[in-house]
Each structure stands twice: as C-alpha cells, then as structure tokens.
C-alpha cells in the first residue's frame, strides 16, 4: 500500500509512561560523552549518584513513542527516515528519579515531492505521572525521504539564526567514542541504523551512524558547562538542525557565541558542518 498522509496526521500514538532511576540518568550522561574531559571536574556530578544532577536533554529519551516509523500500518519507508532537527523547551529540571508520561502527536506534515519525500514534526510533552509537573516540550523534525508526492503543503521557509561575524566566545572539541552508538542506544533508541551494518548500507551509509540525539546530548553538556555553570535549571531551551552525518569516533568541534541570554552555536567534523542553526536560551 502507498503512504497514507492522512493516516499519519491523525495517528493515535497513545500515552507512554516510563519510570527511570539515577542509573538511567547516569547511563545517558555517559552515552553522550560525559565527562567531557578526563580527570576531576564538575562533570562527575552527572555521573555519580551522590547529589546527582540530570542533563536537561535526558528528557528526549523519556516515554517516547519508540521506532514509530516502523509501524507496518503507517506504510513508511522507515529505512530512509532521518532525524532532521530537534527543539526542546525545558520547563522544570528533571529529578534523579521519577515516573513520567508523554503523548505524541503529528503537528505538521509537509510534502517535498516524490523525489525528496516529506517532513513531519512530532510534538510531545514530558510530565510527571504523579503530580503533572511539566518537564519538557519536545518538537522532533523527521525527514521521510521515501514518502512524498501526496499533494500536501510544501515546507515553509523559516528564518535561520545567523552566527555572529566575529570570533567565537567558546570553542571546544569533543572526541566521540567508537562505541558511542552502542552505549547511547541503551537509553532506549534501538533504531538499527545505528547498530546494524546491513541496515546502514541499505540507508546509503558505509557503517552505522551515530544517533542525532547523542550529538544533541553532547551539545547540551558542552553549552551547560560553558555558559550555565553546569546548573540544569539555567538551560531553558535547546534547538538545532542535524546538517551532516556523524560516525562513532568522530571529533565534534563546537563554536559558540553568546548573545545576551542566548547562545548560538554550530558543530563541525573536520571541514563538514554537522550541526547548524543551534540556539540555546541559558539564564
């Protein structure tokens, strides 16, 4: 059966719940590359259970709808799906352990044509199951490269944040581990694109690629440390676009500019920009 756009737009993802512990939060921090540098540092506060701090970006892993593009009822060419961009609003710092819930919905679906596919935005809120505390609002932009030409609205042009024409206020290089994808997937993202060589080759890559959200978490750690004093409560948002592929073992080179209460940033691997349009509100 061909891809049915209306079915996806009205799909009921249901409410997902998840209980997490300090061990899960620490495993996530390890999976996104913490500690960023060897030796004693404040980074260890995200990796040890005494007075544990939780990275705000840990929220993206919680109570997710999972590998929904693989649902056979949706008829999506899931092997051609790529994570295009991610935006989060962090409302309340995550505690070291909690029971949370979220309910996903497709808020936008754009048609790029039969040769380019389509783009959808999946939104969800992560809340505490017991008292309703809102921890994060998450917008995930997904490129479905094999499912276009259904006559939908084209993707509108959005204003892009411009990096300042001056030297960065902060630069940092983070070497990802060759094992990074296998560690990060233990936080719940079991997309075989990041672990199975045959799936990666069918998607057009020579080897499994690193999860976009692993790089997202590394960006959270870098910015929080450099501009937020390592205090999760100071990061209010983190938006970025995945503009290039990262392989486990690649070195991520961050360039960051502070503009008032915002930090603008981009990330390169060698001469390739792999993350652009990065913006974070840090109080």
Active site amino acids: 189, 194
Distance CA 97, CA 88 (A): 20
Dump the DSSP string for 111-125. E--TTT-EEEEEEEE
- Spatial contact of 118 and 144, defined as CB atoms under 8 Å apart: yes
Residue with tokens 């990330």: 267
CA neighbor of 20 nearest in space, from 113, 102, 75: 102
């Amino acid at each position: 059966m061909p891809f049915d756009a209306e079915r996806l737009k009205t799909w009921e993802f249901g409410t997902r719940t998840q209980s997490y512990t300090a061990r899960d939060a620490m495993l996530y921090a390890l999976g996104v590359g913490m500690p960023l540098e060897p030796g004693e540092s404040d980074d260890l506060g995200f990796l040890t259970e005494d007075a544990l701090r939780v990275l705000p970006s840990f929220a993206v892993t919680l109570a997710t709808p999972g590998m929904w593009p693989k649902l056979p009822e949706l008829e999506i060419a899931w092997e051609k799906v790529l994570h295009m961009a991610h935006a989060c609003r962090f409302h309340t710092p995550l505690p070291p352990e909690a029971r949370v819930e979220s309910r996903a919905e497709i808020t936008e679906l754009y048609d790029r044509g039969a040769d380019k596919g389509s783009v959808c935005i999946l939104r969800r809120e992560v809340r505490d199951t017991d008292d309703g505390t809102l921890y994060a609002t998450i917008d995930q932009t997904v490129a479905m490269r094999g499912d276009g030409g259904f006559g939908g609205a084209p993707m509108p042009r959005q204003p892009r944040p411009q990096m300042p024409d001056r030297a960065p206020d902060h630069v940092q290089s983070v070497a990802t581990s060759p094992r990074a994808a296998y560690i990060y997937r233990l936080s719940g993202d079991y997309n075989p694109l990041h672990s199975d060589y045959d799936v990666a080759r069918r998607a057009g890559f020579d080897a499994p690629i690193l999860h976009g959200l692993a790089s997202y978490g590394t960006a959270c750690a870098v910015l929080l440390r450099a501009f937020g004093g390592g205090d999760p409560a100071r990061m209010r948002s983190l938006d970025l676009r995945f503009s290039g592929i990262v392989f486990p073992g690649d070195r991520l080179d961050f360039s960051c500019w502070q503009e008032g209460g915002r930090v603008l940033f981009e990330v390169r691997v060698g001469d390739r920009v792999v993350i652009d349009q990065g913006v974070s509100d840090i109080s």
